[in-house]
Amino acid sequence: MNQTHDDGILKVRGLRKVYGEGSKAVEAIGHLEFTIRAGEFVCIVGPSGAGKTTFLRCLSGLLKPTEGTVILEGREVTEPPADMAVVLQEYSRSLYPWMTVAANIELPLKAVGLTKTKRKKRVTEALHSVGLSDSGKSYPWQLSGGMQQRVAIARAIAYRPRVLVMDEPFAAVDAQTRADLEDLIRNLRSELGITVLFVTHDIDESVYLGERVLILSSAPTCVLKEVKTNLPAERSQLITRALPEFASLRTEVYETIQYAKGVNYYTAQPQPENENRDEGRDKVAT
């Protein structure tokens, strides 16, 4: 099985997604193609409505693509894979309201057959990591939006998937908690060696977290540009964000997103190579 990891744990090949048919058809994804290596932290940014959530739903087997495939560890994804945990954007719908917070986090652990002792330990640790040690016995609806989102994150990290997929997971939490959660996910990635695919609309967050940032066009979406961050592996909210490289990376991502708002897969063609596209970007981004 390891052979398939050499060239990527996750491969997206010729992915296209059209919602509906005829005059009501909405083409959310034009063409996506990229590979993620095992252990990599990849961020995806793009304009609102670019098709980011659609892409993650296809990637995690929740939505059938119109064309193309997603291959996880050498196998085509056709249903939610056991090795993947997904933190959805609509967190309020992802928790069971009739179960306590602890029971919500424990549920996937039961499915993989962990003993009761191990399950309890993982739940306690995960709740502690997201700063909700006192909320295990509460019900999701008794918590604020930001707290519910942290429960969804705790459930994903307690599960310890090989691949963690997150869709704007920190959008509803306050700035301080957000910084803590960013560091939590980075640390978790190094401790457990998991692969992370993280969608955010926050440019600084994408640069801070990712080793690579994929910038998507407007819908129908494609990858407009890939930015390698090359920042020191040990990230620090104070030191990393103050680096001159950090500032130039965020400018690069920002400029590309400004440009991305005006282009999609079709208008970005027929300049498949970055040279021509960069010329266009310089004209648009000011």
Chain residues binding Mg ion by CB under 5 A are: 52-53
Which residue lies nearer to ligand ADP by CB, 48 or 230?
A: 48
- Distance from C-alpha of 76 to C-alpha of 81, rounded to nearest angstrom: 10
230 binds, among ligand ADP, Mg ion, none (CB under 5 to 8 A by kind): none
Minimum separation from the CB atom of position 286 to Mg ion (A): 27
Minimum separation from the CB atom of position 195 to ligand ADP (A): 21
Burial of residue 109, with CB atoms counted within 10 A of its CB: 0-12 exposed, 13-18 middle, 19 or more buried = buried
Which residue lies nearer to ligand ADP by CB, 26 or 243?
A: 26
Distances, alpha carbon 9 to alpha carbons 57, 58, 60, 80, 116, in Å = 18, 16, 14, 16, 31
DSSP characters for 220-241?
Answer: SB-EEEEEE----SS--TTHHH
54 binds, among ligand ADP, Mg ion, none (CB under 5 to 8 A by kind): ligand ADP
50 binds, among Mg ion, ligand ADP, none (CB under 5 to 8 A by kind): ligand ADP
Distances, alpha carbon 163 to alpha carbons 6, 28, 37, 205, 240, in Å = 15, 24, 11, 19, 25
* CB distance 94 to 88 below 8 Å: yes
Which residue lies nearer to Mg ion by CB, 53 or 92?
A: 53
- The answer to whether the peptide bond before residue 270 is cis (omega within 30 degrees of 0) is yes
Minimum separation from the CB atom of position 41 to ligand ADP (A): 20
- Distance from C-alpha of 146 to C-alpha of 50, rounded to nearest angstrom: 24
Which residue lies nearer to ligand ADP by CB, 59 or 219?
A: 219
Pairing between β-strand 67-72 and β-strand 212-216 as defined by DSSP bridges: unpaired
Interface ranges with ligand ADP (CB under 6 A): 19-20, 26, 28, 46, 48-54, 219
* CB distance 215 to 183 below 8 Å: no
30 binds, among Mg ion, ligand ADP, none (CB under 5 to 8 A by kind): none
Minimum separation from the CB atom of position 225 to ligand ADP (A): 16
Which residue lies nearer to Mg ion by CB, 53 or 138?
A: 53
26 binds, among Mg ion, ligand ADP, none (CB under 5 to 8 A by kind): ligand ADP
Which residue lies nearer to ligand ADP by CB, 200 or 229?
A: 200
